[in-house]
């Protein structure tokens, strides 16, 4: 991002609640953002992870193989009883408002909290000029808040077995929403919040809408479904390796072995995340070179938050038709509609008059990085405005 120098505020937006803050423009210059670290106190019920490995990449590969075997007991033997985590975690965040004019910030009433997926970070939402949901939202007048999940990129990297788990991630997102509503981040108290999530981030956003339904006034999810038959192949194709063994990523060297990332070949990213030739190979290369980590505790507990909700407000689920993880490469196969099925299963009490399931052709899992991204951005922003949520 381009720096704005040493300014300490932009209209009503300031640096309150943010450590080591810095102002900058979004990649396309349509938003002004303040970035930095936020201390988030949180309490969550987690599980005891019994598996303490892997000791090396051979063991990691076998662990994944065992996880996917028929009649596997790997999950059952890896999980014990419950624990309670009570701590404060440093979460790297970016709050963005429309760039012009600064005075409009005083009238902002809503914000979209953007939660990224696995092996990604907050830059997924503001990746490059023309590949920025943050810019697209700012053009429509909306503020956005993106962050690195616990255990990813610039956020804290605590114990990847017992601490970095899906239930804790849900409570961190909830705590961030409460801070945004109370004006404790950036000095603007937002009255309405839209939960926007991608992939693992979609599952976490769904978890918040289930456990804390008053947090969100609408939910927009991408790369998300209840269809699991493509997940195993996608998981295997990622050829994950212990992050600290990657020779070209010095920032991973001190991480414990419970942090994984995609293997060293670009096909580990392409197979389940992209749909060739419907993406720019330069954008693909940038994503591969900057891929981030997942934690074993998060992986073992993620399935427990894919549960139906009683959320009654507007919901959108949007998928690329060729999403491998959640559609096994074709969301509309055999005359079905995996996306519509997910909306009905996860949100049976949604506001049906304003909710929608959408599938966009020629697009794989990482929607924001495909040629069709602008159509996806437009559909999500139209859904939000159509839900009665103004900037």
Q: Is residue 382 part of a domain?
A: yes
The structure tokens listed for 361 are 């052709």
* Alpha carbon distance 270, 294 (integer Å): 17
Query: pLDDT, tens digit, for every residue of 275-321?
Result: 999 999 999 999 999 999 999 999 999 999 999 999 999 999 999 99
* Alpha carbon distance 256, 259 (integer Å): 6
Q: Is residue 313 part of a domain?
A: yes
Q: Is residue 277 part of a domain?
A: no
Query: How many structural domains does the chain have?
Result: 1
Q: Is residue 381 part of a domain?
A: yes
Average pLDDT, the chain: 96
Q: Is residue 305 part of a domain?
A: yes
Please give the backbone phi and psi of residue 53, each rounded to the nearest 5 degrees, phi first: -85, -170
Domain containing residue 15: 9-225+298-386
The three-class DSSP label of residue 110 is: strand
C-alpha distances in Å from residue 194, one per residue of 215, 217, 381: 8, 6, 11
What CATH number corresponds to the domain at position 133?
A: 3.40.50.1820
Note the pLDDT of residue 324.
97
Note the pLDDT of residue 1.
43
Q: Per-residue confidence at 6, pLDDT binned at 50, 70, 90?
A: confident
Of the candidates 214, 383, 232, the residue with the CA atom closest to the CA atom of residue 309: 214
The answer for residues whose C-beta is within 8 angstroms of residue 366's C-beta and 6 or more apart is: 117, 120, 124, 198, 223, 273, 274, 287
* Alpha carbon distance 88, 105 (integer Å): 29
Q: Is residue 81 part of a domain?
A: yes
Residue 357 pLDDT > 90, yes or no? Answer: yes
Residue 96 pLDDT > 60, yes or no? Answer: yes
* Alpha carbon distance 64, 262 (integer Å): 13
* Alpha carbon distance 153, 141 (integer Å): 28
Q: Is residue 239 part of a domain?
A: no
Please give the backbone phi and psi of residue 12, each rounded to the nearest 5 degrees, phi first: -80, -10
Note the pLDDT of residue 7.
87
Residue 57 pLDDT > 60, yes or no? Answer: yes
The structure tokens listed for 388 are 């009665």
Query: pLDDT, tens digit, for every residue of 172-208?
Result: 999 999 999 999 999 999 999 999 999 999 999 999 9
Mean pLDDT of 199-220: 98
Q: Is residue 311 part of a domain?
A: yes
Q: Per-residue confidence at 3, pLDDT binned at 50, 70, 90?
A: low
Residue 362 pLDDT > 60, yes or no? Answer: yes
The structure tokens listed for 117 are 């997926």
């Amino acid at each position: 991002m381009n720096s704005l120098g040493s300014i300490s505020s932009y209209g009503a937006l300031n640096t309150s609640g943010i450590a080591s803050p810095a102002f900058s423009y979004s990649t396309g210059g349509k938003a002004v953002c303040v970035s930095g670290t936020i201390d988030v106190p949180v309490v969550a019920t987690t599980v005891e992870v019994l598996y303490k490995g892997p000791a090396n990449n051979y063991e990691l590969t076998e662990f994944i193989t065992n996880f996917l075997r028929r009649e596997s007991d790997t999950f059952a033997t890896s999980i014990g009883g419950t624990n309670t985590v009570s701590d404060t975690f440093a979460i790297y965040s970016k709050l963005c408002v429309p760039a012009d004019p600064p005075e409009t910030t005083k009238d902002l009433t809503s914000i979209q909290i953007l939660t990224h997926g696995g092996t990604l970070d907050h830059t997924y939402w503001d990746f490059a000029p023309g590949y920025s949901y943050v810019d697209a939202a700012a053009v429509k007048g909306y503020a956005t808040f993106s962050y690195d999940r616990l255990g990813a990129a610039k956020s804290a990297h605590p114990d990847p077995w017992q601490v970095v788990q899906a239930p804790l991630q849900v409570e961190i997102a909830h705590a961030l929403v409460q801070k945004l509503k109370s004006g404790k981040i950036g000095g603007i108290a937002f009255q309405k919040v839209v939960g926007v999530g991608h992939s693992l981030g979609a599952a976490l956003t769904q978890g918040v809408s289930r456990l804390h339904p008053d947090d969100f006034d609408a939910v927009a999810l991408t790369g998300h479904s209840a269809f699991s038959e493509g997940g195993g192949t996608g998981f295997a194709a990622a050829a994950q390796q212990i992050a600290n063994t990657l020779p070209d990523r010095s920032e991973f060297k001190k991480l414990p072995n419970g942090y994984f990332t995609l293997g060293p070949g670009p096909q580990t990213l392409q197979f389940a995340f992209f749909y060739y030739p419907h993406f720019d190979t330069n954008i693909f290369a940038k994503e591969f070179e900057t891929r981030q980590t997942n934690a074993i505790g998060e992986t073992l507990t993620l399935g427990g938050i894919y549960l139906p909700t009683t959320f009654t407000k507007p919901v959108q689920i949007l998928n690329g038709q060729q999403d491998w993880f959640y559609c096994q490469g074709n969301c509309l196969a055999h005359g079905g509609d995996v996306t519509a099925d997910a909306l009905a299963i996860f949100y049976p009490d949604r506001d049906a008059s304003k909710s929608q399931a959408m599938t966009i052709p020629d697009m794989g899992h990482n929607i924001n990085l495909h040629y069709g991204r602008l159509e996806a951005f437009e559909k999500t922003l139209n859904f939000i405005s159509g839900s009665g949520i103004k900037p």
